[in-house]
Every structure is written in structure tokens, then in C-alpha cells.
Structure 1
Amino acid sequence: MIVSGGEALVDLVPSGSTMDALVPRLGGGPYNVALAAGRLGVPTAFLSRVSTDRFGEALLRRLVESGVDVSLVQRGPEPTTLAVVALDADSSASYSFYTEGTADRLVTDPGPLPASASALCLGTLGMVLEPGAGVYETVLRREAERGVLTALDPNIRADLIADAAAYRARFASWLPHVRLLKVSVDDARWLAAGGDVTDSVKAWLDAGVQAVVLTKGAEGLSVRTAAGEVASVPTVPTRVADTIGAGDTVQGALLAWLVRRSVTDLTSLREADWREALRYAARAAAVTVSRIGAEPPTEAELERGH
């Protein structure tokens, strides 16, 4: 089972070319990862604290409808985090967040995850906003110690990071406990703090990460591993509605691919394996970007070539 931990929030997305009307869409990086993996038919659970407000009820219902186990979801009366989305000319998204006193920040340590949990995915706001960030960090270290396939997507939201140097140092402290690191090229550049991305990827691998997957927008996906394997695949051509949830779908699909094959040691994969995994993730992401908001595909949709 995959456990995805972090925020569940509501994206307020423009309904047209202006900001005159905003449509609520359910999302959040870790939430989208859980949806993607669950819809692809792999046992998946979501770990977070979700509001008891109307948005929270809708978030929980959508998880259940997508086949996601919600037994690790905590509830509270605090409001749901909101993100106002702006789309630029190529449909890329930027975000403004409203996070003060919201439910997902107040998650508490659930203790050891169920024995059936073979993969743990964390990232985005969950690893930034306290006190929840400290909780997820504890879970990461504990589950890595027992051999779970740990995955991280930092999904940088720079406006919410008050001290960039402190965050980069904390990020570095996570790496010995992370097996799969997925980053966008933009995030990799931010984390490199002006340094060379290739050098940073090598440093992350040297720190203990087994594989670094880079998402490069229209240029596709690539991976570099501690074993020296390098593979790249192109994006799948599609008409882009927006890019919300694309990277989260990649992460969910990659984890689904790995868990189906009972892969916990990424050094066991060869270049051909990585190409197959990346192609699968690229196909899933292509469906997501063809839709408004984060709407990952089901396995049935992929099989019929949606």
C-alpha cells in the first residue's frame, strides 16, 4: 500500500481568461498523489488532517470515490487551506496560499504506519508549514528505518518559505531517508540556489537518494540513479487545458508502477525498467493536463488510450 501524506486543500481556479470568477477545485500535492495512485488501482491511503467544513467533506468524499483508504485521515474544525490559482499564457499555474490556522497544519503523529504500507510519499506544503512539517519529518525517518520505499516531491512554493537557506538545509537532512526524489527542473534550480542542477542531482544521490526523477514540462521526464542509470522519455502529445496536478500525477503513477512490481530497492531497476515506468507516468500526466484542475486518470482510461 502507498501512503501519501500532506495537505488537502481547495484550489480556486479562474473559470476563464480573467479572475472575475473562481471555481473551487479539490487538490493539494500529496492529496493529488493519493488520487492518482488510487485511481490507477493500487491500494493507497491518505495521511493528513482534514477540516469538518464543507470543503473538507468534499475532499474526503472524493478520496473515497477514488478508492483511497481514509482511515489515517484526522478531522478537525479548523478551516480548509485555500490556494488561489493564476494561469499564464501557456496554462502553467502559480499559486497564492491562505494557510493560517488551517486543519492540515495540525496533523498529529499517527505512530508507525500499517504493516501493509510499502511506500510513503511526502512533500509540498506538508514539509514546510509547522507544526505538521515536523510530524511528517518524524514519519519519514521512522518509515525509512523499517525499509519502506520513501518518496519526496518538495514541490517548492517559495512564497511560503520564510528562510530559503534553512529550508535547503532541512531538505538536505531528509535525503538520507529518501529513496525516490521527484523534482521539477524549476524546483531543482531553486534548491541548487544558483548552482548547477546536474551537480546538485549528483550531490542528492551521494547523500543517499537512490533515484532522482526530473520533470521538464514539455521536454518530458528523466531519471538519474545512484547506480548510474540514466533514462529519458518525451511527453505524450495532448491538448493542454492546464498543468495543475501534472507533477503529482507523475509521482502517483511512478509509485503505482513500483508498488505493483513490489519494488522497494530502486537500484534493482535497469534503464529499460525506468523507461517503462517513466512512459507510464507520462501517459497518466498527459490525461491530467488535458482536463481542467487536477483530475488524474483511472487505469481503465489509460488502458483504452484516453
Structure 2
Amino acid sequence: MSQPREMIDVVGTGFTVLDRLYSDGQLASEALGGSCGNVLVSLAMLHRQVVPVLSLGFDEIGSRLVDEFRVAGANTQYICRHYGRRSPVLRQELDTSSGRHSFSFVCDETLEEYPRYEPIGRDEVRLAMDALERCTVFYADRLSPTILEAMECAHSSGAIIYFEPSIYDESLFSEALALTSILKYSSDRLGQMLDEPVAASTAIAIVTHGEDGLEVRHGHERVWSAAIPAKRVLDTCGSGDMVSVGLIDWLLTQSISAQTSLTLHDIMCGVSAGQRLAAENCAFAGARGVFRHHDIEYLRSLLSEVGSHF
């Protein structure tokens, strides 16, 4: 009699880059970034079983990104490297006086355009099929025909599909939405395009409203969750990613599966945990500053605080 295959906590794919952080015009750090990169590496640092499925170049930057995942504890066997391809880079400008940030794909010194993110191909999907069939949560923040294929595989195997688009792909969105368990998006950026189709879907939606807070929606039912005040605001970058990290970590802690008939009220404790993490992260420069300045015990205490604010 064959033994049941061991489950994986999270498999994810999407926007993963080398984030070059310039603080008040000066290069401050270089680290793995992008929403997908931030969420997956943070969950790995929380000792979750994390499997990134990515397509990178066989270059120095690609090696740095793989090493950062590996050091965090992620399984990097499904990160494919390609000769002749340059791994993606993103420039982040931080104004420490306001805590505001901006992004660019152009080098300010040379005016050269940085290499861009490229989604996984069919070879990567085939290689990762075993992991996709064993994950509890599948995370994606971009769409392509092959990412949709990976999403379909994970969904058919019973995974929670956590989809966090920052770009609207009209040709693929309706198919992705039909598979999605939890959808997170910005009201300012995508609200006009997504609010109506999402309300008609079965997905639970987390709609962010910047520094004010967020709404959790299910159909036409809505619950408002005000932002938790940050003790200090140095950099707001990564706040949304931290909400996702906290919620996914909570889903895993509660052993919630896609077969669970979730309501929006069921996930509010997880949302609140993510908002606490986001508020703490604002005190540090970089999208994952809280992870660089605090140990796992502190982060776990932050995520497991009893109580809510909604």
C-alpha cells in the first residue's frame, strides 16, 4: 500500500526581482524583492515549507536571488535558470522624510533599462507538477497562460488559490478568478475593473485602501478593517505583502483547506495578523525590514497576538 505524499505549505510563482533600494538618493541595499518574492521568502523565514517556481537568468543576479531563497529555507529545486537571459531588477526610491517610495525599471546612472520579469514556461510547469499537486496554498501575483496552467493544476489538487494581481490581464482574468479562493487587490489601481466581476464570484476579496485600511468582501457582504497605526513610518513599501504573509501563515496554522467553506468572517483574524505585521514593517527601510531586524520568536508573537480591531 503506497504512503500518502507529504504536503507542501506554499508553492508560488510571479513577480520576483532584485530590488535595489535607494534611500534619499543613495544606494542602501540590494535584496530579493517583488510581491511574489517578498511573500514567499518571508513565509520561508517563518519556517513554512515554501517552493518558488520561477524562471531566472543564469547570471550573478539570478544566483543571488536563488541563494536568498535557499538561506531563508525555501526549496529552490524548481527555480529554473536560463543561459542568455538576464534576471530582473527593480529600482526603488525611498524618501525617508515622508516614508514614500517609487519604482523604476531604468538605471538612474546609465539610463539603461533593467531586465524585466519573465513568467514561467511550460517546461517549468511540467517540472513542478509534483509540487503543484501537493501544495496547501498556491500563490501568484501575475498571470500568463502557463501560470494559469499551474493554478489549474494546484486547484484541481485541492489547494487554496491566493491570487494578488497588480496588473489586469483581461484575457485570462475570468478563468483565474473562477479558480481563486482569496483575491487581494488595490482599490485605487484595479477597483474599477475588478469590483463588479469579483462581487459576482465565489472568491473572498481583500481590497486595500492604502493607509486607511482594507475591506474584506464576499459577494456583496463587506467588513471594513482599519489600518493598525504604525509606531514609526520610515518606509511603507511591502505593507501589502506583509498582509498576505500574515494571512497565509494564519491559514496554514489553522489547517484551513480549499474544501473548507470559508466566509469572510472566518479569515478576519488572519487579516488582522497581517495588518500587525505590516504596521511593524513600516518602521524599517525595505519591503521586509521587520524580518531583518527581528527574530522568529518576535515575529511569531506578533502574528499570534489575541484580539482584533475590526
TM-score, length of structure 2 as denominator length: 0.78
**How far 1:169 moved relative to its partner?**
4.2
Looking at structure 1, the residues matched to 120 and 285 of structure 2 have their Cα atoms a distance apart, in angstroms, of 30
Answering whether residue 103 of structure 2 is matched by residue 110 of structure 1, we say no
- Aligned partner of 1:302 among 273, 296, 299: 299
Question: Where do residues 86-105 of structure 1 align in structure 2 (5 Å cutoff)?
Answer: 86-87=93-94, 90-97=98-105, 104-105=118-119
Task: Give yes or no for the alignment of 1:11 onto 2:19.
Answer: yes
* Distance across 2 between alignment mates of 1:39 and 1:287: 16
Structure 1 position 268 matched with structure 2 position 262: yes
The residue type equivalent to 2:58 in the other structure is T
Which of 271, 274, 277 aligns to 2:270? It is 277
Report how far residue 288 of structure 1 moved.
2.5
Shift of 1:145: 2.5
Determine which of 140, 152, 171 is the counterpart of 2:163.
152
Query: Which of residues 143, 148, 153 in structure 2 aligns to 1:137?
Result: 148
Unaligned runs of 5+ in 1: 128-132, 157-163, 194-199
Contact 1:2–1:45, Cα closer than 8 Å, also in 2? yes
- How big is each residue's C-alpha offset from its partner over 1:63-101, in whole Å with a ceiling of 9 and x where there is no partner? 122222212211123211111223466333332226876
Equivalent residues, number: 278
Alpha-carbon distance in 2 for matches of 1:300, 1:278? 20
C-alpha displacement at 1:43, in angstroms?
Answer: 1.7
Post-superposition offset of 1:41: 2.6
Indicate the RMSD between aligned Cα atoms, in angstroms: 2.8
Mapped contact 2:13–2:139 kept (Cα < 8 A): yes
Q: Equivalents in 2 of 1:135, 1:270: separation in Å?
A: 30
How far apart, CA to CA, are the structure 2 residues paired with 1:227 and 1:102?
A: 37
TM-score, length-scaled by structure 1: 0.79
For the 8 Å contact 2:230–2:280, the answer to whether it is kept is no
Counterpart residue type for residue 301 of structure 1: Y
Q: Percent of counterpart pairs with the same letter? A: 20
1:289 aligns with 2:282: yes
Unaligned runs of 5+ in 2: 1-8, 107-112, 304-310
1:47: Cα distance to partner?
A: 1.0
Partners of 1:170 and 1:238 in 2: CA distance: 40
Q: Work out whether residues 198 and 219 of structure 2, in 8 Å CA contact, stay in contact via their aligned partners in 1.
A: no
Output one character per residue of 1:123-148: Cα deviation in whole Å (capped at 9) or x when no partner. Answer: 1xx42xxxxx2211211122222321
| Deviations 1:176-214, CA, capped at 9 Å, x for gaps | 01111011222233xx15xxxxxx4353142332x1012
Change (3 A) 1:231 1:35: same
- When residues 104 and 287 of structure 1 are mapped into structure 2, their CA distance, relative to the original with a 3 A threshold, is farther
Q: Does 1:178 align with 2:168?
A: no
1:252-303 CA deviation, whole Å, 9 max, x = no partner?
A: 22111112212124643462x4331111101121232222112153642224
Residue 250 in structure 1 maps to residue 243 in structure 2: yes
Match of 2:40 in 1: 34
Question: Quick check: 99-108 or 218-227, which moved more?
Answer: 99-108
Q: Which has the larger radius of gyration?
A: 2
Bigger RCO (CA 8 Å, 6+ sep): 1
Determine the structure 1 residue equivalent to 2:79.
Answer: 73
**Structure 1 residue 23, shift from structure 2 partner:** 4.1
